[in-house]
Amino acid sequence: MNETRKPRVATVSLAGCFGCHMAILDIDERLVGLMQAVEFDRSPLTDLKTFTRRCDIGIIEGGCCNEENVHVLQDFRRNCDVLIALGQCAIMGGLPAMRNAIMQSDAPLRECLEEAYITGAYIRNTTHQIPNDPALPLLLDRVYPCSEVVEIDYQIPGCAPGGDIIFETLSSILAGRFHGFSRDSFKFD
Amino acid sequence: MSGTGFSFTIDGVAVAAEPGQTIMEAADAAGLYIPRLCDHEGLRHQGGCRVCTVKAGGRSVSACTQPAAPDLVVENETPHLNKLRRDLVEMLFHEGNHLCPICEASGNCELQAMAYRLDMTAPTRFPYLQPSRTLDASHPDIALDTNRCISCGRCIRASQDVDRKGVFGYVGRGIHRRVAVNADDLASTDASIEDAAIAAGTCPVGCIIRKRHGFATPIGERIFDKGPIGHDIEDKRRE
């Protein structure tokens, strides 16, 4: 019954810049061995938009800035045994979270959108409106770290995390022997 | 002062001290690093951040203010104390807006380096307060991004005791206590880029910014890229 199968991995970029996905490529030639050891399911790498099966590991890049991010993250939690937050945005909001604390503003989201689309000095927006197409996901009041939305099992710090720390962490989690990071292996920047 | 010296132990290592020396001063001279954030060489001790908390004779004290005493038994590098320190540092990360990826001080930042040293991989155990704080770029040479301030008061002591100016001071109480400038904005004070309070290294984080100096040293070649915080003190012992 317990036939050996490859661990299944899913990845997604929420409110991130895809830099952490790029950082996965920094694993370099070790990627070949890793690709043989695992099978990718839902991921921008496979272009699968939904889960085909339950996955062992879900890798999340970016925090939650809109309702779609929250739905996708909850879908990952439902379909993955282990969730890994990859990079500072997933861990603590990162750059998008700058909009949470726009100084002295009672409505930082409104102020952010008005500056971006209406009042900014270098804006050429012929509609003079904040985009409001119903197809656009609703923005959240602030940007949330993944761990404030669902339970996160592991976090790999960095912006973006280096190839070595991603490889070491993924390999040791796959082997079931992850015991934290060594002091000189991680950075927040 | 010879003849009046005495010795005590830190983590079982005998350390020589003179009367009046604090535990931290004696430890620094002996090449034993006690983590600290609000204490800075050349400034009077404050004992505010409590990151330097050690067990002296079984009691928790701040090593930067507690005088060394003969035959005192001090615990410093214990899992329990380092966990307390990590919690303090983690709470500082949650209290302000500490976005390392966008901060110019990243790599020179003592808060970040202390988090690395204390194995704080990611701060997520507490809610982020995400306060709304001011950015004061009024001064021609200096900017203050108070989002990153940890209220250590090093700029206050440097300005009062070294510069004799009193540009900075504390306002408010409890969790609302903040470092503020002694005028409407920094440009209205007599702060100067030559001040000890503004000098690189006085502000442990990226709050006091010297304009036109940003990124002069690239990320990867900065102070704490060369070794963990405290390695300069610990190297003394290895020599």
- The answer to the question of residue B165 being in a domain is yes
Q: Measure B44 CA to nearest chain A CA, in Å.
A: 31
What confidence tens digit (pLDDT) does each residue in A81-100 have? 999 999 999 999 999 998 88
Closest-CA residue in chain A for B130?
A101
Q: How much is the pLDDT for A1?
A: 47
- The answer to the question of residue B239 being in a domain is no
Q: What is the mean pLDDT of residues B168-197?
A: 94
Give the domain CATH number at B54. 3.10.20.740
Closest-CA residue in chain A for B117?
A183
Task: Please report, as a single letter, which amino acid is at residue B179.
Answer: V
Dihedral-angle region of residue B151 (phi above 0 means left; psi in -120 to 50 means alpha; beta otherwise): left
Out of B40, B56, B77, pick the residue that ends a domain.
B77
- The answer to the question of residue A90 being in a domain is yes
Q: What are phi and psi of A140, to 5 degrees?
A: -80, 160
Mutate to test the interface with A, among B119, B128, B226 (most CBs of A within 10 A): B128
Asked if the model's pLDDT at residue B120 lies above 50, the reply is yes
Asked if the model's pLDDT at residue A138 lies above 90, the reply is yes
Q: What is the mean pLDDT of residues B173-194?
A: 93
- The answer to the question of residue A23 being in a domain is yes
- The answer to the question of residue A59 being in a domain is yes
Asked if the model's pLDDT at residue B1 lies above 60, the reply is no
Task: Please report, as a single letter, which amino acid is at residue B167.
Answer: V
Beta strands in B156-221 (DSSP E): 168-171, 178-181, 208-210
In chain A, what residues touch B230 (CB-CB under 8 Å)?
none
Size of interface A-B (CB pairs under 8 A): 77
What confidence tens digit (pLDDT) does each residue in A139-180 have? 998 899 999 999 999 999 999 999 999 999 999 999 999 988
Same domain? For B147 and B215 the reply is yes
Same domain? For B95 and B63 the reply is no
Q: What is the mean pLDDT of residues B172-199?
A: 94
**Total structural domains in chain A?**
1
Q: How much is the pLDDT for B125?
A: 78
- The answer to the question of residue A80 being in a domain is yes
Is the CB of B128 less than 8 angstroms away from the CB of A93? Answer: yes
- The answer to the question of residue B38 being in a domain is yes
CB atoms within 10 A of CB B59: 8
- Name the residue range of residue B110's domain: 84-225
- The answer to the question of residue A37 being in a domain is yes
Is the CB of A184 less than 8 angstroms away from the CB of B228? Answer: yes
Which residue pairs, CB below 8 angstroms and at least 24 apart, start in A163-166? A163/A23, A163/A24, A163/A25, A163/A26, A163/A27, A163/A28, A163/A30, A166/A23, A166/A24, A166/A26, A166/A27, A166/A86
Same domain? For B72 and B102 the reply is no
Q: How much is the pLDDT for A3?
A: 61
Angle (CA) A34 A149 A72, round 5°: 55
Out of B50, B77, B104, pick the residue that ends a domain.
B77
DSSP B92: H
Binning pLDDT at 50, 70 and 90, where does residue B155 land? very high
Out of B55, B77, B99, pick the residue that ends a domain.
B77
- The answer to the question of residue A65 being in a domain is yes
- The answer to the question of residue A189 being in a domain is no
Q: Which residues on chain A place their C-beta less than 8 Å from a C-beta of chain B?
A: 85, 88, 91-95, 97-98, 100-105, 108, 142, 145, 147-148, 152, 155, 157, 159, 180-181, 183-184, 186-189
Give the domain CATH number at A93. 3.40.50.700
Largest CA distance in chain B: 55
Same domain? For B45 and B137 the reply is no
- The C-alpha atoms of residue B76 and residue B229 are separated, in whole angstroms, by 16
Whole-Å CA distances, A116 to A98, A127, A130, A135: 14, 13, 8, 19
Same domain? For B186 and B123 the reply is yes
Binning pLDDT at 50, 70 and 90, where does residue B27 land? very high
Same domain? For B214 and B120 the reply is yes
**B103 in contact with A, Cβ within 8 Å:** yes
Same domain? For B33 and B67 the reply is yes
What confidence tens digit (pLDDT) does each residue in A40-94 have? 999 999 999 999 999 999 999 999 999 999 999 999 999 999 999 999 999 999 9
- The C-alpha atoms of residue A59 and residue A76 are separated, in whole angstroms, by 9
Asked if the model's pLDDT at residue B2 lies above 60, the reply is no
What confidence tens digit (pLDDT) does each residue in B91-104 have? 999 999 999 998 99
Asked if the model's pLDDT at residue B143 lies above 50, the reply is yes
- The answer to the question of residue B48 being in a domain is yes
- The answer to the question of residue B230 being in a domain is no
Q: How much is the pLDDT for A101?
A: 75
Q: Measure A102 CA to nearest chain B CA, in Å.
A: 6
Q: What is the mean pLDDT of residues B72-91?
A: 96
**Total structural domains in chain B?**
2
Same domain? For B26 and B140 the reply is no
Same domain? For B123 and B104 the reply is yes
Mutate to test the interface with B, among A61, A99, A188 (most CBs of B within 10 A): A188
Considering only CB atoms, A103 lies closest to which of B101, B123, B134, namely B134
Share the mean pLDDT of chain B: 93
Same domain? For B176 and B207 the reply is yes
- Name the residue range of residue A43's domain: 8-97+141-174
Q: How much is the pLDDT for B208?
A: 96
What confidence tens digit (pLDDT) does each residue in B200-233 have? 899 999 999 999 998 899 988 999 999 999 999 9
Q: How much is the pLDDT for B3?
A: 62
Same domain? For B193 and B221 the reply is yes
Same domain? For B88 and B129 the reply is yes
Q: What is the mean pLDDT of residues A106-131?
A: 88
Give the domain CATH number at B197. 3.30.70.20
Binning pLDDT at 50, 70 and 90, where does residue A13 land? very high
Strand B6-10 and strand B53-56: pairing?
Answer: unpaired
- The answer to the question of residue A22 being in a domain is yes
- The answer to the question of residue B237 being in a domain is no
